[in-house]
Amino acid sequence: MNELRPIRSALLDVRNLHTHFLTDKGTVKAVNGVSFQINQGERVAIVGESGSGKSAMAMSLLRLLAYPGKVVSGEINLEGRDLNRLSERQLNEVRGRLVGTIFQDPMSSLDPVMRISNQMIPPIMRHLGLSREKARAEAISWLDRVGIPDAARRIESYPFEMSGGMRQRVMIAMALSCRPRLVIADEPTTALDVTIQAQIVELLKELTAETGAAMIFITHDLGLVARFAHKVGVMYAGKLVEFGPVKDIFARPRHPYTQSLLDTIPPVDQLERRRLAQIPGFPPDMKLPVTGCAFKDRCAGAHRRCFEVAPELEPRGHGHAAACWLPEGLGAGRQMERALIPPMEPAADAGEDRVVVEINNLHKHFTTRSSLPWRKPPTVRAVNGISLRIRKGETLGIVGESGCGKSTVARLLLGLDPATSGDIFIDGMAQMVFQDPSSSFNPKMTLFNIIQEPLVVTGWGTKAERETRVRELLGQVGLDESYMHRYPSQLSGGQRQRIAIARALALKPSVVVADEPTSALDVSVRAQIINLLVDLKQKLRVSFVFISHDLLTVSYISDKIAVMYLGEVVEYGPADEVFNNPAHPYTQALISAVPIPDPEAEEARIQKPLSGELPSPLNLPVGCSFASRCPKATDYCRTHKMVLKPYSKTRETACHYAS
């Protein structure tokens, strides 16, 4: 529609935007000369890792930066007006009216002590000049459009009475309620589950297409970009290093950073597994002046000129532009260093192939204390009868939405919580790698002490032997021995996660449970950790339990996958088979919700996001637990409990209609 209408000038024209954070330790140049244009109705994704300045850039557009952030210079032309020259009062007529904003975390973005109505209605009255009744009707119709059931009643709810997905819908309704020309969405789905993310993305797509609003979409998820955007801007160290149409960017990226970033994502087609690309080094310190290209130290194609002069964003045809001295970036050199991962060598003797973990009919119920003695206390069935087996050297991936019980399984495996019923048998020892490497270490301990702690606790070896062991472990996780005497705060997120892995391996456990070990990490670092885990698996023949909501990563790293829903395993089987040919409707929905970093493939996929949300584990359905959301559910499913049954030689599924 919008393409047919002749567009004279761009809706938003940003020129040479500079944003600085004036901290005590120096000026952080977060945004360093960004220029781009957005036409009406266009969806532009801005991608980049944390610290690339993408959020600072987006917040600069409406001057929503918190102290000490400040827009230093640049033009922000919205429909011909320079927002950077407007007074605060004038800008308040633009905020919410011409430009709507959607923020990352729906749990904290709505005022917790105010009803939705009091947050939504006054801005509509103010910006559109409507009476309270009309504004209220308008707000309700928006809530209805974003899919809030029973909107007329729910508008009087408080945010805490809604789920995260629902709150993000409210946030979208609020941002769109004054019919803005432009919507800024800052990582709007990052805090949500993959199925809810798919729903929200579809919703944003529909609504912006309907209202003709343009959109800036800030994200670090390249898959989402492929699903969503018309155009992509890639940011690095406060600058746009590449900008162009989405298909062009994915098919022919020209900047080495974009190229490497795309190669760090586990591929969907995993017939032959290759190591993921790694981007060595760290982004530059934005407090220090940069001579030449900011990416030169991490770039395989860097040459003398890169160290002297910074390349500007130059056109590469078809609206594509890149800031690199090399016209094709890394070019043909891109795929070179990525070695094939050899298949696991078959076990030398039968004992090497034995089962190391066996879980039988495991239950974990959490009972809250009832305040009145005669009332039956509510019980949460977090794990509701699962049985699993892990062989030596095998990696089991556990996937599912948050609240499905996957982390509880991890805690039970480690013996951190007692099971309500059922058995766990572990041949040897289990160790754990946690999600957040910054909070799982004692900040006052040196890395040497952190790693040797399990050895000391169990009275392993002499002091000298322990030191040798720590050196060996550091080597195994790819860190230099000199790190021994440092403290956790001196490390990057990726290095800390390496230490966590070294500590988990210290006692030579038979199984290492990793609960979302890569979720807190940036894309390029994530690839390093995944490669490390794959190497360790090959070298040490340790079994891993890899728990994650990131299906692409799980299917890449795992041999077997168990899909969990409401405390039960609904599908189990070899990773590639489950991923490429899911049998259970829930697995199918989960996998179709995962955005694939390929715009062509995304276009071809049928987008029918799973409706509804995870039911409360307090009162489980009588029949199949998935029946309330299943497109294929019949009355039989609602009344009959499904158990895991063989589906093929290697696979099991808990669906009546799958087999």
Partner 1 sequence: MLTYSFKRLVQLFVTVLGVVTLVFFTMRLIPGDPISAMAGDNLSGAALDQMRGQMGLNDPLPVQYLTYLGRLAVLDFGTTVTTKLPIVGLILGALPVTVSIALGTIFLTVLISIPLGTLAAYMAHKGNRMLDNIITGVAMVLDLMPPFWTSLVCLLIFSLTLGWFPASGTVSLDDPAMLLRRIALPVLVLSMAQIATLARITRTSVLEVLNEDYVRTARSMGWSELHVLFRHALKNAALPIVTVIGLSFGNLLNGTVIVEFIFTLPGIGNLLVGGMNSRDYQMVQTLIVFYAMIFVAINFTTDLIYRVFDPRVQF
- Residues in contact with partner 1 by the rule CB under 8 A: 62, 64, 66-68, 88-89, 92-97, 100-101, 103-105, 108-114, 119, 123, 126-127, 158, 160, 171, 174-175, 371-372
Minimum CB distance to partner 1 smaller for 158 or for 487: 158
CB of 127 to partner 1, least distance (A): 7
Nearer to partner 1, 131 or 371 (CB): 371
Report DSSP state, residue 334: G
CB of 27 to partner 1, least distance (A): 14
Query: Contact, 109 vs 193, CB < 8 A?
Result: no
| Element holding 657 (H helix, E strand) | none
Tokens of 479: 């860190």
Give the shortest CB-159-to-partner 1 separation in angstroms.
Answer: 8
Please say which residue, 89 or 376, places its beta carbon nearer to partner 1. Answer: 89
**From CA 297, how far away is CA 167, in angstroms rounded?**
42
- Identify which of residues 12 and 506 has a Cβ nearer to partner 1 in the complex: 12
C-beta of 58 vs 229, nearer to partner 1: 58
When the beta carbons of 116 and 593 are compared against partner 1, the nearer one is: 116
We find the least distance from the C-beta atom of residue 295 to partner 1, in angstroms, to be 31
DSSP structure class, residue 267: P
Instruction: Fill in the amino acid letter for 308.
Output: E
Q: What is the dihedral of CA 315, 321, 324, 325, to 10 degrees?
A: -10
| Rounded Cα–Cα distance for residues 192 and 261 (Å) | 23
Q: What is the bridge-based pairing of β-strands 379-391 and 543-547?
A: unpaired
* CA-to-CA dists, residue 294 to 51, 170, 221, 233, 323, angstroms: 13, 39, 22, 16, 11
Please report how close the Cβ of residue 90 comes to partner 1 at its closest, in angstroms. Answer: 11
Contact call for residues 545 and 410 (beta carbons, < 8 A) = yes
Closest CB to partner 1 among residues 88, 133: 88
What separation in angstroms does the CA of 508 have from each of 235, 349, 472? 42, 20, 12
- Cα–Cα distance list, 17 to 59, 61, 72 (Å): 12, 9, 8
Instruction: Look at residue 85 and give its three-state secondary structure.
Output: helix
Cis peptide bond N-terminal to 253, omega within 30: no
Q: Work out the number of other CB atoms within 10 angstroms of the CB of residue 78.
A: 21
Q: Per the structure block, which two tokens stand in for 128?
A: 């559109």
The least CB distance from residue 68 to partner 1, in Å, is 6
Nearer to partner 1, 63 or 227 (CB): 63
Nearer to partner 1, 125 or 620 (CB): 125
- Of 395, 405, 382, 411, the closest CA to residue 546 belongs to 395
Query: Whole-angstrom Cα distance, residue 343 to residue 497?
Result: 25
- Nearest CB to partner 1, comparing residues 118 and 650: 118
Of 159 and 244, nearer to partner 1 (C-beta) is 159
Count how many residues are written for the chain.
659
The distance of closest approach from Cβ of residue 82 to partner 1 in the complex, given in angstroms and rounded to an integer, is 18
- Write down the least CB distance from residue 24 to partner 1, Å: 11
In the chain, what is the greatest distance between 2 CA atoms, to the nearest angstrom? 80
**Shortest Å, Cβ 76 to partner 1:** 15
Q: What is the Cα–Cα distance from 155 to 266, expressed in whole angstroms?
A: 42
Q: Distance between CA 590 and CA 613 in Å, rounded?
A: 12
What SS3 state is found at 621? coil
Identify which of residues 62 and 451 has a Cβ nearer to partner 1 in the complex. 62
Decide if 321 contacts 243 (C-beta within 8 A): yes
Task: Quote the least distance from Cβ 175 to partner 1, whole Å.
Answer: 8
In angstroms, what is the minimal distance from the CB of 287 to partner 1?
18
Least distance (Å) from partner 1 to the CB of residue 42? 21
Query: Looking at this protein, which amino acid is placed at residue 85?
Result: R
